[in-house]
Amino acid sequence: MEKFVITGGTPLKGEVTISGAKNAVVAILPATILAEDVCRIENIPNISDVSAMINILNIMGAQIKYINKNTIEIDTRHINSYVVEHELSKQLRASYYLIGALLGRFNHAEVAMPGGCYLGVRPIDQHIKGFEALGATTRIENGMVKVEAESLHGARIYFDNVSVGATINVMLAATFAEGRTVMENVAKEPHVVDVANFLNSMGARIRGAGMDVIRIEGVRKLHGSDYAVIPDQIEAGTFMAMAAATHGDILVRNVIPKHLECISLKLREIGCEVRSYDDAVRVIAPEKLLPTRVRTYPYPGFPTDMQPQTVVVLALAGGSSVVRETIFENRFKYVDELKRMGADVTVESNTAFVHGVKGLSGADVVAPDLRAGAALVIAALSAEGVSGVDKIEYIQRGYEDFDQKIRGLGGRITCVKNPRDERKAMLRYAQ
């Protein structure tokens, strides 16, 4: 067991440096399967979703050399299998990117249905729609997605809903498809653009990533590349929310402020001062936060991955806020845990009605998924007294050195590995 023990009530202050983007790197790593040479990838976050993906690639035959904690060299030329079994793919949602990459390289992929955080039904019909438009046939047998093609050809694809996963996956498969692929109603998230940039750095011809239509001219091969992953928009947003909830003052470094615009605007709306610099943002929280309305939406809208952290902040505002989740149907599971800390939140269907309270109080809570786990840590940091946050393996999927970074800001958080350490941490904090 690993658990965070947190004593709240201290405003977090200082500087924090943001790591590479999880949702970019979990696609960039499978994308190296398409390369005919070694790739060097920098700014890789040291998180468990990345270790899981590296492990899968390693087992498939990729040679991986760590240059340092956040840089690897990866040579996928010796991969000779297009099958990924359930034991491996269940470890993370992003294992679905192996389908697009293997299909691109071998015209054949057999990958078990992906795992990941449970946020409601997470279909992959749009990924399949895209692969089939490129000329592949798909079967789902015994939990395996089996996709194969004689050859892949360019196509015009309209996605029925905006999907990060489908956009990236079809982009991976279409890189080698003969002729031109036009993808419409695509996701525009920064990590979609980053994956396109990575593929282009290897010789792909992808235009329009970050806009409504992506156009791909198929190429015959990709060479190696030396690439640095963009900073993580959601990790940055999480620390920005932490500043707000703890009435702190945090300089969030190594970010692309443009990617944080809509989070910054929301924080300004609720009374925070947000200053933007070239590669940093500073959030200075007021004594009293104001309520607001939030609706999650694909980029450049307000990210669903910031919804739980935002509810925590609004739970401490003076007045009532409304937060509507439009991307995932089951992303309010943490609310019951938050209520145990004294929050006043009611969920009706996809909407949370948040009535601000004066303060939260420490409690033992369980992280139900990655972002909700981070949100509960924020709640605990703002609360009076001691909290325990259990199931932190979810948080470790997506936040590098989370507790260490929080301690650097003056947060009192300890990661305990057994009940004895937990009792010791509780006693220390109680003094």
H/E element, 89: helix 86-89
- Residue 130 in contact with ligand EPU, rule: CB under 6 A: no
Q: In this structure, what DSSP letter does residue 354 have?
A: E
Mask: binding to ligand EPU, 279-308, rule CB under 6 A, as x and -? -------------------------xx---
Q: Is 150 helix (H, G, I), strand (E, B) or coil?
A: coil
Q: Which of residues 370-389 bind ligand EPU (CB under 6 A)?
A: 370-371
Q: 386, 5 in Cβ contact below 8 A?
A: yes
Residue sitting closest to ligand EPU (CB):
165
- Residue 333 in contact with ligand EPU, rule: CB under 6 A: no
- Residue 238 in contact with ligand EPU, rule: CB under 6 A: no
The catalytically annotated residue of 39, 117, 272, 415 is 117
Q: Is the dihedral of CA 183, 76, 124, 122 positive or negative?
A: negative
Beta-bridge partner residues of 346: 353
Q: Is the backbone of residue 143 left (phi > 0), alpha (psi -120 to 50) or beta?
A: left
- Residue 124 in contact with ligand EPU, rule: CB under 6 A: yes
- Residue 125 in contact with ligand EPU, rule: CB under 6 A: yes
117 as an active site residue: the answer is yes
- Residue 95 in contact with ligand EPU, rule: CB under 6 A: no
Q: Which of 3, 105, 127, 412 binds ligand EPU (CB under 6 A)?
A: 127
Mask: binding to ligand EPU, 387-426, rule CB under 6 A, as x and -? -----------x----------------------------
Please list, in sequence order, all residues whose beta carbon lies within 8 angstroms of the beta carbon of residue 157, skipping any fewer than 6 positions away. Answer: 129, 130, 133, 134, 170, 181, 182, 183, 184
Peptide bond into 419 cis (omega under 30): no
Q: Which of 7, 19, 23, 238 binds ligand EPU (CB under 6 A)?
A: 23
Q: 73, 64 in Cβ contact below 8 A?
A: yes
Q: 314, 352 in Cβ contact below 8 A?
A: no
Q: 36, 77 in Cβ contact below 8 A?
A: yes
Mask: binding to ligand EPU, 96-115, rule CB under 6 A, as x and -? --------------------
Distance CA 216, CA 196 (A): 10
- Residue 328 in contact with ligand EPU, rule: CB under 6 A: yes
CB of 196 to ligand EPU, least distance (A): 14
- Residue 90 in contact with ligand EPU, rule: CB under 6 A: no
Residue type for position 191: H
Q: 313, 270 in Cβ contact below 8 A?
A: yes
CB of 425 to ligand EPU, least distance (A): 27
Which residues lie near ligand EPU (CB under 6 A)? 22-23, 26, 93-94, 117, 122-127, 161, 163-166, 187, 304-305, 327-328, 370-371, 398
Residues belonging to the active site: 117
